[in-house]
Every structure is written in structure tokens, then in C-alpha cells.
Chains A and B, each alone.
Chain A
Amino acid sequence: MTKLKFFTLAASLALSVFCANAQAQTTPAAQAAGYVAASGQPAQAARGQEFFTTKHGKDWSCSTCHTAKPTVDGKHATTGKVISPLAPAANAQRFTDAAKTEKWFRRNCNDVVGRECTPAEKADVLTWLISLKP
């Protein structure tokens, strides 16, 4: 390995460690930007609201548990457990942990849509959620 290649490898390793740390604590805007970049198209809040509040061929929509304007508490459709607001303006904890965001998108899209959501769908929904004010 040449010295240059070694330096490049070390630098990229350091960068990936930095990014992994940065991922642990992120912001809603940063995550929305990431989904927009991955989708290759601008996000549309109105499309996100539509996606969130309608059913996709299964029993539940996102709003079944999170309510149609998730600046307020929701309720789990089967267990009845209270779900704190999803909109960042009403709940500062939301969308600050990228792994947690991905975990819940994976599970809930599977329950609501029957598949994982696309980056464009995530970008739209998150952009709409960020736009909500309590």
C-alpha cells in the first residue's frame, strides 16, 4: 500500500467514525435533507400529509395511532398505550436519533403499507411533520 492510499484509508475511517457519532444525535432537518438527497427529488409536505393520513390497502394509516395532526398525543391501535406527539415542534426528542427513526419507519411502514417506505416518502412525511406547529 502506498503512503497516499494509507492516508486516504485512515482519513475515510476517521470520517466514518465521525459520521457514526454524528448519527447518534441528529436533527429532524438533517434527516429530512438525507432522505431528500437519497430520493433525488424535492420533498413535498402536502404529499407527506396525504401519505400519512390515508390507508395503503391495509387496516391502519399512520394517523390511526399518531392522529391526523400529530402535535398531540396519539394512542396505539392495539395496546392503547399513549404515544407522545410525533411533530418535532411538540416533542423535541423526535427525529434526533437516526437509528431510532429508521427502526420505526421500517416497522410502521411494514404495518401500514406492507413494505418499507421509499426515501421520497420518508422525505415528504418528515417535511410535513417539521412544518406542523402546536
Chain B
Amino acid sequence: MHPSFRTIVGAGLLGLALTGAAHADSNLSVAPNAKHQQECSSCHVAYPPGLLPAASWQRIMGNLAKHYGTDASLDDATTREITAWLKDHAGTGRRVSEEPPQDRISKSNWFVRKHDEVSASTFKRASIGSAANCSACHANAAKGDFNEHAVRIPK
């Protein structure tokens, strides 16, 4: 099925009842935590906590010395603070409560579904790099804003 046709049909079927829900779905903003911002964004977008369930955050934060191929270890106090904050604000909705393979946001079923119109070669563009680089297309990703209308895919 053509993607735009599917979108129209989908919108028609869901109707107005879900409009509010769909909007809330793309907004994962929470009051920021300074340590989370400072430490996580040294290397990548400080992924909003709502993108993974608490169990995934717990595993990630418990294994920072082997963090997707690099040593991202922190002192104990900082690790504890960020872990607690991530778990407090972790995803709890029906979709996000599923623990994705390797605790990778980009391997979540909801993520794959929402990006099925973006080809693998698009993700590999020099301006994007990989699906982990949220802010390449979602300019306000670090603030938890993933509104579809604001998406700009770079060339």
C-alpha cells in the first residue's frame, strides 16, 4: 500500500478521537535533569527517558563501561542520580513498555513502524549517520519533541 494512502486511511479510521493522543505521543518532554543533559549529550542526543522502559534504562546504566562499543563509565554518585531519574520518567505506555533488543530505541517495534517510510540508505546519509541520530531530522529531539510536522530530513 502506498504510504500516503495508508496515512489517509489510517487518519480516517482513527478519526478525531485519537488526534489528541497522537499529538501527546510525539511529546516526551519532562523537566530536564542537569547531569543527564551534561553526561549523555557529550556523545549523543540525551535521549528522552520516555523512549525506553525502566528495565532497559537499568541495564544500560548498569553497564556503562561497555556502552554500545565505548566506555561511557561515570562515577557512582552520577550513575545513581541519572539512573534514578531515567527510571522515574521511563516509558510506561503500552508501546514503550516493551524492552527492545539490545535495549536499542531504534530496534523498538514502535520505532521501526514509525520510520518505515525512511529507507536504510537515507539513514546512512552523511548528514544523518544512523537511526540513533534523532536530532538530524527531529530538531527538538533533545527536548522530547518528536512532532511529525516538524520533521525535516536533511539531504
Contact = CB atoms under 8 A, between A and B. Distances in A.
Given A106-B73, A107-B72, 18 more contacts: A76-B43, A78-B68, A78-B69, A79-B43, A79-B44, A79-B129, A79-B130, A79-B132, A79-B133, A80-B133, A81-B43, A103-B74, A103-B75, A107-B70, A107-B71, A107-B73, A110-B71, A111-B71
10 contacts: A76-B43, A79-B44, A79-B130, A80-B133, A81-B44, A103-B74, A107-B70, A107-B71, A107-B72, A110-B71
A16 to B, nearest CB: 18
Nearest to A108: B71
Interface of B: 43-44, 65, 68-75, 129-130, 132-133
Nearest to B135: A81
Contacts of B71: 106-108, 110-111
Interface of A: 76, 78-81, 103, 106-108, 110-111
A111 B73 CA distance: 11
Contacts of B75: 103
Contacts of A111: 70-71
Interface centre among A103, A108, A111 (most CB of B within 10 A): A103
Contacts of B70: 78, 107, 111
B151 to A, nearest CB: 19
A14 B73 CA distance: 31
A126 B43 CA distance: 22
B75 to A, nearest CB: 8
Closest 7 CB pairs of A and B: A80-B129, A107-B71, A110-B71, A79-B44, A111-B70, A111-B71, A79-B43
Contacts of A107: 70-73
Contacts of A76: 43-44
A81 B136 CA distance: 10
